Structures are given as structure tokens and as C-alpha cells.
Structure 1
């Protein structure tokens, strides 16, 4: 073999090892996204399980607020359907947007229920309602932390998919950027606190 052939062979081997390494890194990052979503999925299921209990406790006090209670249950069912679709294919295009929208709708419905509950001192004083509200608040915090971890994994993956020269391997093997999860808190709930004297 001539020197040129040895150089060419070494160059091909280096490029081959680099491509295998880039591919494996992209797979690890993609699997990290799926794992991070699994953590969100656990918290979403917990949230979805709490909502019917919350509505049931509120139902005995809010008999004439049936529309609010029905809206919460409908939003919960829609969010549950979106969560099941997302857990079946966490890396499918568009599924995270649907999930975010459904969870935002549920968050808004729960927020309206809690606002209505504020007008009923008996409901606010109910021990079960307080416990469920605290449990729901704790779950919302856990969802927030899990969402942040998911978005961190997604950012690292998206960066790797779009950086040169790894984007060559990404395009060859169908690695596409993934969507970030948005907050499930509605804009109305994010209003700044105003202190008045």
C-alpha cells in the first residue's frame, strides 16, 4: 500500500468513528428526552387523578356552579387523552404541542374552580378540599420541575441536532428537533401580585 492509500484509509476510519460517536450521542440525547417525559407523565397522571376528587368535594358545595365543574372534568378528560397519546409516542411531532395546549386548558379550568371556591367559606374550610388543594399545588410544582428537566434535555438534543458537523449525521438518520413544553399556567394566572395599602 502506498502512503496515499494509508492516509485515505486512516481518514475514512476517523470519519467513520466520528460518525458512530455522533450517532450514539444523538441517540443518548433522544433517549434522555423520552426519560424526562416519563417523569412528567408520572406527575400528569397524578394531577389527572386528583382533579375528579377535587371536583367531587367541591360539587356538594357548588351545586349551582355545575358549568364550572363540568368544564374542569371536560378539560381533565382532554388533558388525559393528550397525555396518553404523548406517553405512547413522546418524540412524535406535534404531540407535545397538543399536550401543552390541553394541560394549559386544564390549568385554566382548575384556576377558575379555585377562584369560585374562594367565594365559599364552607368549601375553603373543608379539610378534604384543603388537602386536595395542597396536593394539587405540590403536584403542579413537581410538574414544573419535571418540565424544566425535559426542556433542558430537549435543548441539549436540539443543539446537537443542529450543530455542524453532527447535523450531517442527524439528517442522514432522521434526527429532527423536538418541541419544548410550555408552562401549563394560563396568562391570567401569571398576573403580577399587586400590593395595595
Structure 2
């Protein structure tokens, strides 16, 4: 009977260590899931603003086609860049933590900036177009959405940094491969 006690204590100690290890693994996994969920929420805020921007740009493009026929290439470039950005955003929507999709969206977003700025400058040069009913409220809406998108991107980047730091921190990084967590990109 005396020989049974050391075996029992050894077994209990191993069981306690296993319980602590399992508890840590569950806690670390749940933390990573919470951080990834916060990333999804942050992308949702960007996505909502992008949807609103698209809802303003699409009718503005249509309203500018006829009065700016001489600048058709610029308007078409804006339309093509918008379509590319919308497709990239749809890809991100499916997996907001996927670094490849986010990088493609950042590229598409930057490619949208130049034709959008050119069209806005052209509209400014043509007050007869800028002050028409279909264009004026859409321009105002676009002006309001620009800073809001920037602010939402900043919020996403903060969440991405927190997520990336968590998956790089020791000992959590030991679980990253096991649960297939991957670093994300900043936008």
C-alpha cells in the first residue's frame, strides 16, 4: 500500500500539469479567436463605408458620362478601378484576416485613388456639371466618406497589429501552426 502512494502522487501531478496545459491552450486559442473576430468586425466597418462610397460613385459615373464625354477615358478608368476595388473587397469579405486578399484590396484601393482624384478635379473645372442635382449631393457624400474610411482603416490596422502580436508572442506562437492561425496584413 505504501508503494501505491508515490505512484498516485505522480499520476495526480501529471494530471494536474495536463489540466494546466489544456487550460492554457484553450485560453490562448480563445484569445486568438477573439482577436480574429475583432478583425472581422473592423473589416465590416470598412466594408460598410466602401459600400456607401460605391453607392455614391456608381450614379456619379453615370451622371458624368454625357456631360464629360470629352473625358470619357478618365470616367472609364474610374469605373474600371471601382470594379476592381469592389471585387477585391468581396474577396476580403469572405476572409477578412487573409493577408493576400487584404494586400490585393490595398492595391486596388490605391489604384482607385488616381482616377477618382482626376474625375473630381475635372468636375471642379466644370461648374456647370459640379452643381447639378445628381452630382452635387454625391460629391458631398464622397467628401464625407473619405476621412471616415481612413479612420476605419486605422481601426482595422490596430486590430491587425494586436492579432499579429498575439500570434507572434511566446508561448502562443507554439499553437499557431496547430490551429492554422496566420498573420494578417495592414490596410
TM beyond 0.5: yes
Whether the aligned pair in 2 keeps the contact of 1:79 and 1:99 (CA below 8 Å) is yes
Q: Deviations over 1:144-190 (max 9, x none)?
A: 22211211111111111000011111222111110111xxxxxxxxx
Question: Which of residues 14, 18, 23 in structure 1 aligns to 2:24?
Answer: 18
Q: How far apart in 2 are the matches of 1:87 and 1:157?
A: 18
Task: State the Cα RMSD in Å.
Answer: 1.6
Q: Quote the residue 1:83 is aligned against.
A: 89
The 5-angstrom pairing of residues 64-79 of structure 1 reads 64-79=70-85
- Structure 2 gaps of 5+ residues are none
Q: Quote the residue 1:44 is aligned against.
A: 50
Is the helix fraction higher in 1 or 2?
2
Question: Which of residues 34, 46, 62 in structure 2 aligns to 1:28?
Answer: 34
Q: Quote the residue 2:125 is aligned against.
A: 119
- The 3-state SS of whatever aligns with 2:135 is helix
Q: How far apart in 2 are the matches of 1:138 and 1:32?
A: 25
The 5-angstrom pairing of residues 96-115 of structure 1 reads 96-115=102-121
Alpha-carbon shift at residue 125 of structure 1 (Å): 2.8
Whether the aligned pair in 2 keeps the contact of 1:79 and 1:106 (CA below 8 Å) is yes
Q: How far apart in 1 are the matches of 2:145 and 2:40?
A: 20
Q: How far apart in 2 are the matches of 1:50 and 1:124?
A: 14
Larger Rg: 2
Q: Quote the residue 1:186 is aligned against.
A: none
Q: How far apart in 1 are the matches of 2:80 and 2:74?
A: 10
Q: How far apart in 1 are the matches of 2:26 and 2:58?
A: 49
Q: How far apart in 2 are the matches of 1:38 and 1:48?
A: 15
Q: Quote the residue 1:191 is aligned against.
A: none
